Amino acid sequence: MLAVPSIDVRHLRKVYGEVVAVDDLTFAVQHGAVLGLLGGNGAGKTTTISMLLGLLEPTAGEIHVLGIDMRRQRYAALPRMNFSSPYVDLPHRLTVRQNLLFYGRLYGVKQLRRRIDEIAELMQVAAFLDRQTGKLSAGQKTRVALAKALINKPDVLLLDEPTASLDPDTADWVRTYLKDYQAQTQATILLASHNMSEVERLCDDVILLQSGRVFDRGSPRELIERFGREDMEQVFLDMARGRGRGLEALRRNEAAK
Ligand SMILES: Nc1ncnc2c1ncn2[C@@H]1O[C@H](COP(=O)(O)OP(=O)(O)OP(=O)(O)O)[C@@H](O)[C@H]1O
């Protein structure tokens, strides 16, 4: 087990022209924990995940993953990481199998063909392994993206809205699978989601982001209690609408700065 957190982010900032997308974000995710990143549209979730992967250069701040400085040595960490995002398409013209072969080789997966069969079965994409990825339905593409995200059995998994286009039944088994995967491998997962029951079910801790800044943080249970609410859906609405005890949390955070 690592003595350092699996993900360690300090004073992270990203500015696009006049838009401050991420503003002084600091958090750590311990080995084997699941952190939820919640926030309304434009809160900075995708920007944060992109910086964690090295796809975007931060304006300021530090990111360490598995103890490795991502701004200097990200290629040492990337083979042990993976991600899925509805905003990053897999090559359309390749078949699902070709995509999984391509990414599997990129990640240096051993016994790749066996692993592809295994993950295709698990993510229920075996039936369309030889179809073009671009011609699949949105939900099928999401399952392929998850198969790609798990191909190298990552120690750190970054998931941007992993169940967004899935039907309720499929979303449910994907959540069950992610929970089992995490329990079996002790992987560390960062999950950006708009689905509050998913967050309650999967996340040990949650960061509520608003306009790139931390609005509040805690376990789902702590947040629900602190906001005086019954579930995360209501907590989220309080944050989004700037009302109730959520507003007090914001004031407290502002005062602490
Ligand atoms: N390439 C870009 N150029 C300029 N502004 C950008 C760019 N990408 C994101 N932004 C802005 O940065 C802010 C954060 O966007 P981001 O995509 O990280 O939000 P998000 O929390 O993932 O939102 P959503 O829930 O809608 O996916 C938004 O104000 C967005 O308009």
pLDDT digit string, tens, across residues 2-57 = 578 999 999 999 999 999 999 999 999 999 999 999 999 999 999 999 999 988 99
Give the position of tokens 């790749």. 112
pLDDT at 247: 55
How many angstroms is it from 23 CA to the middle of ligand 1?
13
How many angstroms is it from 34 CA to the middle of ligand 1?
23
pLDDT at 173: 86
Look up residue 174 and give its two tokens: 């994907």
Q: What is the mean pLDDT of the chain?
A: 91
How many angstroms is it from 47 CA to the middle of ligand 1?
6
- Band the pLDDT of 232: cuts 50, 70, 90: very high
Q: Are 9 and 52 in contact (CB under 8 A)?
A: yes
Give the number of the atom of ligand 1 that is nearest the alpha carbon of residue 39.
Answer: 21
- Band the pLDDT of 199: cuts 50, 70, 90: very high
- Residue 217, H or E segment: strand 213-218
> Does residue 118 or residue 244 have the better pLDDT?
118
Look up residue 92 and give its two tokens: 């359309």
CA distance 57 to 46: 13
CA distance 98 to 240: 42
User: Atom 1 in ligand 1: which residue has the minimum CA distance?
Assistant: 16
Sign of CA dihedral 23, 178, 96, 154: positive
User: Atom 27 in ligand 1: which residue has the minimum CA distance?
Assistant: 41
The domains of the chain, with CATH numbers, are: 7-87+156-218 (3.40.50.300)
User: Atom 4 in ligand 1: which residue has the minimum CA distance?
Assistant: 16
pLDDT at 43: 94
The average pLDDT across 149-158 equals: 96
- The binding-site residues of ligand 1, defined as CB within 6 angstroms of any ligand atom, are 16, 19, 21, 39, 41-47
How many angstroms is it from 58 CA to the middle of ligand 1?
14
Position 251 pLDDT exceeds 90: no
pLDDT at 114: 96
- Band the pLDDT of 85: cuts 50, 70, 90: confident
What pTM was computed for the model?
0.91
Look up residue 110 and give its two tokens: 């051993």
Give the position of tokens 């809160």. 43
The Cβ-side half-sphere exposure at 150, using a 13 Å CA radius, reads: 24
User: ipTM of this model?
Assistant: 0.97
Give the position of tokens 């609405």. 237
pLDDT at 242: 79
Position 223 pLDDT exceeds 70: yes
Q: Is 78 helix (H, G, I), strand (E, B) or coil?
A: helix
pLDDT at 243: 67
